[in-house]
Structure 1
Amino acid sequence: MYSKVTIAGHPVHPMLIGFPVTCYTGTLVGFAVYAANGDQFWLNLAIALNVVGVGSALLAALPGFVDYAFGIPRDSGARTVGMTHGGLNVVALALFAISLGMYVTHWNGPATGVALGLGLSSAGVACTLGAGFLGWQLVQDYHIGIRLTPAQERDELTVQNGDVVGLHRTRSRSDRAA
């Protein structure tokens, strides 16, 4: 297991990522509905979710960075995937932070030019989706943050740069006896 920031043996980064993903998606929905009907509630919802999304993304980034910097072996293909994952998340965070800066002053009044918020949050959600795909690849292919059972370790695939290059299957005594 490569995670360095854990609570009771469970990696913290995956525990926290649900908050920015949900809030970023809600921000996009809020801007879209506000653009469609002009009801101030939806703009305020987008702004509030954006605040929580940016804050929780910063919080989730801390253990993610520690896991990347100190948990993934330097010679692993997971380093490149992790760097791209983090980079996409930083871009998404920047897009949502810019959107927040543009609209936070419109809490008590209508916003003109909501297309900018819609565009920034759409691009931010797209980056978040890409980062999520790569995050899942880190878990699924490279087993970042996973403690394998002895049986899983016996059947561990060797993955280099995203390609399966071998199956390491060692037979236990019970397998050989059968």
Structure 2
Amino acid sequence: MYSKITVAGHPIHPMLVGFPIACYTGTLVGYAVYASNGQQFWLNLAIALNIAGVGTALLAALPGIADLALGIPRRSAARTVGIAHGGLNVVALGLFGASLGIYATHWDGPATGVTAGLALSSAGLACTLGAGFLGWTLVQDYHVGIRLTPLQESDEQTVQSAELIHLRRGSHAA
């Protein structure tokens, strides 16, 4: 299962995911520090990182969607994990987008509170961590985006054939 969007054979999606992860983390830190000291710099930093996080998440999603649609076989366990991975990322994007919607107008002046920003960015970062775990599962367990040697590829096809036989037997038994 190769990534379909690559540069010189290297998958682009994993190259891009570090940016929203870092920006989402910085957004939460910015809100937390602003909540503790009330300095406008920290709110502005949180807002700027939130904008960057949402933007880079949308950018990283494009090759991720292409890899899911074109590189992972239908009715495979990897596809189920990929859909869950994408779903958690969409939820995280929605949470950070909501936070941005609330605080973007406070760039020039203090916010009355940051409870919503802390809650939304905490939940969003938790979703991002869950999505990251599932993304790593795609790489580690299902070899999505991994260039296999011919021997590894042969072994992979043998395992997939055995799984298909097992699934077919299970469907006849039901």
* TM-score past 0.5 threshold: yes
Q: Which has the higher helix share?
A: 2
The number of aligned residues is 163
Equivalent runs, 1:65-84 vs 2, <5 Å: 65-84=65-84
Change (3 A) 1:155 1:71: closer
- Equivalent pair of 2:35/2:113 in contact (CA under 8 Å): no
2 CA distance for matches of 1:97 and 1:82? 22
User: Equivalent residue of 1:147, what SS?
Assistant: coil
User: Equivalent residue of 1:63, what SS?
Assistant: helix
Moved over 4 A (4+): 154-160
User: Equivalent residue of 2:112, what SS?
Assistant: coil
**What is the percent sequence identity of the aligned residues?**
78
Unaligned runs of 5+ in 1: 161-165, 167-178
**Residue deviations 1:22-79, cap 9 Å, x none?**
0000000000000011011100000000000000000000000010011101132101
Change (3 A) 1:98 1:45: same
Give how far 1:149 is off: 1.8
Give how far 1:156 is off: 4.5
Change (3 A) 1:157 1:126: farther
Q: What is the TM-score normalised by the length of structure 2?
A: 0.88
Give how far 1:157 is off: 9.4
- Equivalent pair of 1:142/1:159 in contact (CA under 8 Å): no
Corresponding residue for residue 172 of structure 2: none
Equivalent runs, 1:56-71 vs 2, <5 Å: 56-71=56-71
**1:122 counterpart = 2:100:** no
Equivalent runs, 1:24-173 vs 2, <5 Å: 24-153=24-153, 156=156
2 CA distance for matches of 1:130 and 1:158? 30
1 CA distance for matches of 2:126 and 2:157? 30
Q: What is the TM-score normalised by the length of structure 1?
A: 0.86
User: Equivalent residue of 2:92, what SS?
Assistant: helix
Structure 1 residue identity aligned to 2:112: T
Q: Which has the higher strand share?
A: 1
Unaligned runs of 5+ in 2: 163-174
Which is bigger in relative contact order (C-alpha 8 A, separation at least 6)?
2
